[in-house]
Amino acid sequence: MGFGQLAFLWTAIIPVTVLLYYFFRKKYKEKTISSTMFWETVMKETKVSPYLQYLQRNALFYLQMLALILLVFALLQPFFKTKAIAGEHIIWVVDTSATMLATENGETVFDRHKSEMISLSEQLAGKPLTMMTTGEEPTILLRDETNLSLIQSTIENLTVQYEQEQLPKMLDFTESLLKGKETAIYLFTDHVERSELPLENDAITWFVKGSPEDIENVSILRFGATQSDESIAALAQLSNDTTTEKSGNFELRSLTDNKVLVNESVVIPAQDTLDLSFKELPATSGLQASLLIEDDYPVDNESTILLQQQSSQTYIDGSLHQLVSAAFQSMDIPVSSVPTVQLVDLTDDAIIVTNQTSQLTISDSPVLLIGRNDEPAKEVNGEITTERDDVFAYADMKDIFVSSLYPPFADYETIARVNDEPFIQRSQRGDLIILADIQMTDWPLHPSFPLFLWSAREQMSTNSDYMGTFSPNERKSLSLVAEEETGDWEIYSNSDEFISTFQNGGQFTAPNQPGLYLLKSGQTEKQFSVVLEQQEKQIEKGTSFTIGTSSQGSVQETVKTSLVPWFLLLIVLLLLIEWEVQRRRGIAN
């Protein structure tokens, strides 16, 4: 114990004054009477316990003395020295990436970090704590929080988000939180190199809590499959990060009927990879690969793939107006301009934007037809009405003027009209046809034009009922329009467990756990999968270390815990007792 304000010792005069007052106080007025005969007997009854009576008579004095002495002590600002976490401002960065699930001795790295955080939180000693999690978007869970129970409940509620930790993003984000005070940043992760940390700021001390144990990991590093006419060929790369040879089974299942297609025993050499290839697999919508080897990190021992073709390239007919390619580029979609004559030779998995009507029949890949080169256009005038369709998710067609239209294709679905004349049509296999040249409308001048092109491309590039592959917690705008009656999309896991809901494609966030998911809105169902990022399939062991200025070199420092509030509480209590004594005894006697 020590004193913060020894200068206040002069206040000891106050209780001493009271003490003197009581010393020199005339205790009893002397009064001579003829006989104390009758008084004596009166007093005898109250003299039963002399000690008690003594206390009774002097209770006020003792209470007052005690209160005043406590007051003097309180002014001296007594404190207890306790050990606490060093640093004025404390930031905890919690890595919630999938690799934190690596298990050692039955406990994941993440759980171990959590229990360490709980024990550290008890040493906070009232210092403000900022807690954040890593990921694509670093999240602040607590900001300058001092409420211990809130801190601990937040720690308890932490879950792994499977995202990549995105260390550079996190570091940039942390920089923004610095206040110039001495800051201790605790990094709860598995592996960080010293060189990765920015060390230019003197006020920061880094406490890195790594995962020092050797963790055995075998993983399906890569898994792919291609579909030819009747059969599927699959390729898997298995990796062994351990120093011993690992053997086990590799299994391939069909997602449609959950039938085991392949079950093969594999032996992966130490710190090496093993490539497996399978051909002539029966046709299926998707494959699930499982590596049945005991290791400390089971998350990466499974991989799912959906066999859907995905077009990535976009080719634009060179004869089309410049505005079309400009619109694509404004949406950051890479496009290639191709002369009209070469369009025929293009690969299958590409989107072609052209005005050559013949491409609808020639090309195997989706075609966005803008205008027709085989029919003349005729004038039209009127308002545009659209069907409820995914391509119009972001494109509002209201104020667009169209001067003339080409004749429509008879058996195609019409999704937009000008005055009951078909304006935009969709073929059975997914081609989109705009029955007007760029020059016939002011649409390219509207912001809805590039948005429409983006939606159209998104829709054509993916199969209509397969949304693609996402990384955990990935945010992506999808061109999706919910069915009218339900109004929103719901995400279900492969085992029909409800995950989340969102209203339109712009709000889509992928679930955090890897696996296959279903997107539902009324009768519409779409599939998508979430897979671990490649980086999350490798586990490195990291050490715990501290980098920082020498003044904060130690993890702990002594903190003065003030006892003043307790003293004040005691004084108030004493005053209450004093008041009660006064009340019972009366002021005069």
Residues that bind other proteins in the complex, under the rule CB under 8 A: 27-43, 45, 57, 586, 588-589
Nearer to other proteins, 6 or 37 (CB): 37
Q: Do residues 559 and 125 lie in contact, with contact meaning Cβ atoms separated by under 8 Å?
A: yes
What is the nearest approach in angstroms of other proteins to the Cβ of residue 71? Answer: 27
Give the residues across from 413 on adjacent strands. Answer: 426
Residue 584 C-beta: closest distance to other proteins, Å:
12
What is the smallest separation between the CB atom of 572 and other proteins, expressed in angstroms? Answer: 28
* Residue with Cβ nearer other proteins (495 or 589): 589
Nearer to other proteins (CB atom), residue 56 or residue 337: 56
- Looking at beta carbons only, is 10 or 24 nearer to other proteins? 24
Residue closer to other proteins by CB (options 10, 38) is 38
- If the CB atoms of residues 428 and 589 are measured against other proteins, the closer one turns out to be 589
> Smallest distance from the beta carbon of 574 to other proteins, in angstroms?
23
Nearest distance from C-beta of residue 17 to other proteins, angstroms:
21
Nearer to other proteins, 30 or 484 (CB): 30
Q: What is the spatial distance between Cα 501 and Cα 489, in angstroms, rounded to a whole number?
A: 6
C-alpha dist (Å) from residue 269 to 222, 245, 266, 290, 395 = 17, 5, 10, 18, 54
Kindly write down the DSSP assignment for every residue of 40-87, as one continuous string. HHHHHHHTSSHHHHHHHHHHHHHHHHHHHHHHHHHHT-EEEEEEEESS
CA–CA dist 477, 259 (Å, integer)? 34
Q: Which residues pair with 184 in a beta bridge?
A: 90, 205
Q: How far apart are CA 215 and CA 110, in angstroms?
A: 14
Rg (CA), the chain: 39
Smallest gap from residue 45 Cβ to other proteins (A)? 8
Task: Specify the residue, 23 or 28, whose C-beta has the smaller distance to other proteins.
Answer: 28
Q: Which residues pair with 303 in a beta bridge?
A: 289
Q: From 87, 81, 127, select the one nearest 560 (Cα to Cα).
A: 81
Residue whose CB is less far from other proteins, 62 or 401: 62
For the CB of residue 152, give the shortest distance to other proteins in the complex, in Å: 56
**Closest distance of CB 33 from other proteins, Å:** 5
> Rounded to an integer, what distance in angstroms lies between the CA atom of residue 141 and that of residue 286?
38
Q: Calculate the alpha carbon distances from 124 to 128, 158, 525 in Å.
A: 8, 19, 50
CB of 53 to other proteins, least distance (A): 10
For every residue of 150-187, which 3-state class applies, written as one string? HHHHHHHCCCCCCCCCCHHHHHHHHHHHCCCCCEEEEE
Residue in 436, 475, 452 with CA at minimum distance from that of residue 328: 452
How distant, in Å, are the alpha carbons of 249, 320, 321, 359, 442 from that of 371?
A: 56, 9, 11, 12, 14
User: Rounded distance, CA 126 to CA 562, Å?
Assistant: 11
Where are any strands of DSSP class E within 228-259?
Answer: 232-240, 246-254
Phi-psi region of 503 (alpha: psi -120 to 50; beta: other; left: phi over 0): alpha
C-beta of 48 vs 588, nearer to other proteins: 588
β-strand partners of 247:
267
Q: Tell me how far apart the alpha carbons of residues 396 and 133 are, in angstroms, rounded to a whole number.
A: 38
Tell me the residue type at 42. Answer: V
CB of 581 to other proteins, least distance (A): 13
Nearer to other proteins, 31 or 583 (CB): 31
Task: Write down the least CB distance from residue 26 to other proteins, Å.
Answer: 9
